[in-house]
Every structure is written in C-alpha cells, then in structure tokens.
Amino acid sequence: MDPRGPVYTRPLVERTVTANGIGQRLFETGAGEPVVLLHGGLGSSEDWADQRPALAERFRVIAYDRRGHGRTAATPEPFDYDVMTADAVALLDELGLARARLVGFSDGGIVALLVALRRPDLVGRLVLIGANTRPDGLEPRMRGRLESSDAASYPERYRVAFERLSPDGPDAWPAAFAQTRRLWLEEPHITEEQLATVAAPTLVVAGDRDLIAPEHTVALFRALPRTARLAIVPGAGHDLPREQPALLNQLLLAFLSESG
C-alpha cells in the first residue's frame, strides 16, 4: 500500500481567476463545502499534492498559486503579507465562497490567519500549519540560514520547482527569493490582542522539529480563543504536508468535517 494512504481519483480542473487585478492560477477538485488550501512561501499549490485527493472525497477543494508563486505571474510591485491577504480575500469574493474552510501552510498559514482577522465573515474554520505571527517565531538556526543565504545557495529544490512552474521564467528566481527572504526576516506582526479576536474555530499544527520554534507555536495557540486546538506531530519538521501526509490528512478531515 502507498505509505501516504489510499489514492483517490477525482478530476482536477485548472483555470485562471482574475481577482484584485491579477490572474491567479487555481486548481479545483471534489464536491461539497469549500476548503481553500494556501501554500507555503517559495512553494505552489503542488505543496498540497498529498492532501487534495483525500480532502476531495468530502469537500470541494480549491488550491491556488499566489502572485509570484507557482503558475501565477509576479507583478511590478513587491508582494508582502498584506498584499497576499488582499489577493486571497478578493479571490474568495470572486468565487462567491462564503464561510470557506481555510487551510494554510507556512506563509499560507499567515495569509489564512490574516484573512480570518480582516474578513471573519469569509472563514468558517481555520487550520494553521507551521505558521508564525512574528519574525522571532523562527528557530534561530532558520534565521541564521536566511541571513547567510542568497538565491544561489538556497536549497536547490525550490529553485528547480520555481523555474519549472513560473510564467516569468528562470531569470525571475533571484527577485522572488529576495522578496521572500525579506518577508521572512521582517514580517509578520500579528499581536496577541488580534489573535484573541479570531472568530473561526482554529486548529494549530506543527512538527516537533519545525522551523517555527515550538514555544512560539504554543504561544500562538494560547493567544487564540479557548475553542482553538493544538496538534504537535512527533518526528516531523516544517514540511508536514509532504513529511506526514497520512497523519495530517486524518487531522484535517476530522477537524474540517465538524459542524459549527
């Protein structure tokens, strides 16, 4: 048997949706209540390759590539969390997705959280995987790696994936990396007071060897309303969707299937 669990076969529809003035590449599968998957920084909707089939057995699953990521082109102005949040809100509105369930990984978790703060009417349930609320939430080793990295020295798999998918071509990789590096070192800035106002039931997930400090993940969880839940996955690093797909899928299906 596939160690990731059973393999599901549902058609995957690919299209471009214009929202907030940009064409965002979107992938949709399954049927039912909507679940929107938000990928990590320097990643793409392919981050969710092991989650989409399982979730599609129960939900309408939508994954999209943010501006300057995956198959969505960059724009002249730099991207930051505020811009990416505006893009996400515009996309949800354009698709008519009232009260969608948002699942965000890493940067996608930050964006999903900011959407829940900006437009609580759009978010029915919220899952944050390996997300931080402040730059100092990064493990010191990760911050040190970022401070000494450039586009040429960062792990090759990110560059290879970017060059394979980006409509901007391989020459756009250094600028994309530089923007993302700045973002990770300087943002976000989400306060405990803001976290206390999150209305959607929230599940916080992280690996016990995550690049986000475990103390930060616990502090995030404790700052949320008491309805929030916490799952620390043993033996897992930051890339939970790929490292522990079967376990993560179980957590997601159980939490997202609850009513209310």
Instruction: Supply the CATH number for residue 29's domain.
Output: 3.40.50.1820
Query: In this model, does residue 3 exceed pLDDT 50?
Result: no
Total of domains in the chain: 1
Q: Is residue 103 assigned to a domain?
A: yes
Q: Is residue 144 assigned to a domain?
A: yes
161-183 pLDDT, tens digit per residue, is 999 999 999 999 999 999 999 99
Q: Is residue 7 assigned to a domain?
A: no
Q: Is residue 6 assigned to a domain?
A: no
**Backbone φ, ψ for residue 171 (5° rounding):** -65, -15
Q: How many CB atoms lie within 10 A of CB 121?
A: 11
Q: HSE on the CB side for 126, CA within 13 Å?
A: 30
Query: In this model, does residue 199 exceed pLDDT 50?
Result: yes
pTM exceeding the 0.85 threshold for the entire prediction: yes
Query: In this model, does residue 2 exceed pLDDT 80?
Result: no
Q: Is residue 1 assigned to a domain?
A: no
Query: In this model, does residue 5 exceed pLDDT 90?
Result: no
Q: Quote the pLDDT of residue 9.
A: 60
Q: Is residue 215 assigned to a domain?
A: yes
Query: In this model, does residue 117 exceed pLDDT 50?
Result: yes
Domain of residue 252, residue span: 13-256
Query: In this model, does residue 195 exceed pLDDT 70?
Result: yes
Q: Is residue 42 assigned to a domain?
A: yes
Give the Å distances, CA to CA, from 164 to 124, 126, 172, 197, 211. 34, 31, 12, 40, 26
105-115 pLDDT, tens digit per residue, is 999 999 999 99
Before 234, cis peptide (omega within 30)?
no
Mean pLDDT of the chain: 95
Q: What is the dihedral of CA 168, 173, 175, 180, to 10 degrees?
A: 110
Q: Is residue 5 assigned to a domain?
A: no
